[in-house]
Chain A
Amino acid sequence: MDPRQAFVELIRRHGDKAYNFAYRLTGNEADARDLVQDALLKAFKSRDRYDQERPFDSWLLKIMQNVYLDAMRREKPTVPLDAPREEGARDAVELLPARDESPAEAALRAERDRALQKALDSLPAHYRAAVALCDVEGLSYEEISRIMTCPVGTVRSRVHQGRVLLKKAFERIEGGH
């Protein structure tokens, strides 16, 4: 198969996962779109460096993580990546539809998702990424350590600390969850 067409097939297979992670990382649609587009094109340009023994989606998520952190450092060089983020604008979310869901159920699901994203947004970048990769995307600590380029012990610590902070955020936003 033509390499360009093969890459398009990879986008079709892994694009939703990449976008979902981008959305959880950035907290809004506009930034998620920019992040995914930048990461996909960067992945395409460096496709010769992709190790085919490793999962493509993990490689793509690693590129996305690096693009995101680089952008954050450029935007706010004096703010450490462990610092909480300011809240961004809330979007009307475009969610994948659930089967047999009534409009009321869909509205409730969207509301809970907004609360979830608001809680995630309050986390420092490293903790937000670790929790998103572990709990939202279901990756192992080993895969997360490759994506975030840090030891497994650091992943373990970030996942736990991220969860502790998330629980406190939910208590503030929802009065418990």
Chain B
Amino acid sequence: MEHEEWTLLSAFVDRALSPHEAKAVEAHLASCADCRAETESLRALKARLSAAPRHALPADLAAAVETRVLRPTFAERLSEAFVPARVLVPAGAFAVLAVFVWAFSGEKDVPLEPLLAAHSRYSVESLVSQDDLSHPEFLADLSDLNGG
């Protein structure tokens, strides 16, 4: 096994190889003393690290963080008291848009059929009945929409 392939030995020790890879490494180890020695060396190092003493979270630090978490700041209390921004912003934007449309839409209702007809002369017959086609109000609306 080449030196650069020794990363496989670390992964082998960590049981992080596929079954196929692990089998290939096992077969190689059976005939290579250098790689067996390297594998044992890696196992011993891993064992030393995993048995290393644990460092405990200092009690005063734990208490300080817990106190901070349990007692919200003024800014946090303010933000938690109202609807979160991700709801407020789109709701507010919708409200503004609705008011804008209402203010500027005017009282005149634009009929749907002439509007569609003005934009699609090939479909006017399917949208508007024969009687309406010749109705003066319809013709006036269509003229307005066409800038006439």
Contacts and interface: CB of A to CB of B under 8 A. Distances in A.
Contact of B54 (A20, A157, A167, A177): A20
Contact of A36 (B7, B11, B61): B61
Interface stretch (A50-58, A64-72, A77-85, A89-97): A89-97
Which residue of A18, A96, A156 has the most chain B CB atoms within 10 A of its CB atom?
Answer: A156
Q: What size tier do the contact residues of chain B reach?
A: 20 to 34
Interface of B: 6-7, 9-11, 14, 16, 41-42, 44-46, 48-50, 52-58, 61-62, 64-66, 68-70, 72
Interface of A: 4-5, 7-8, 11-12, 15-16, 18-20, 23-24, 29, 32-33, 36-37, 40-41, 44, 93-96, 98, 109-110, 113, 116, 131, 134-136, 138, 140-141, 156-157, 159-161, 163, 166-167, 170, 177
Instruction: Label chain B's interface by main secondary structure.
Output: helix
B70 A160 contact: no
B54 to A, nearest CB: 5
B138 to A, nearest CB: 55
A141 B16 CA distance: 7
Contact of A40 (B11, B14, B53, B65): B65
Contacts of B9: 160
Given A95-B56, A109-B53, A167 B45 contact: yes
Contact of B69 (A8, A109, A110, A141): A8
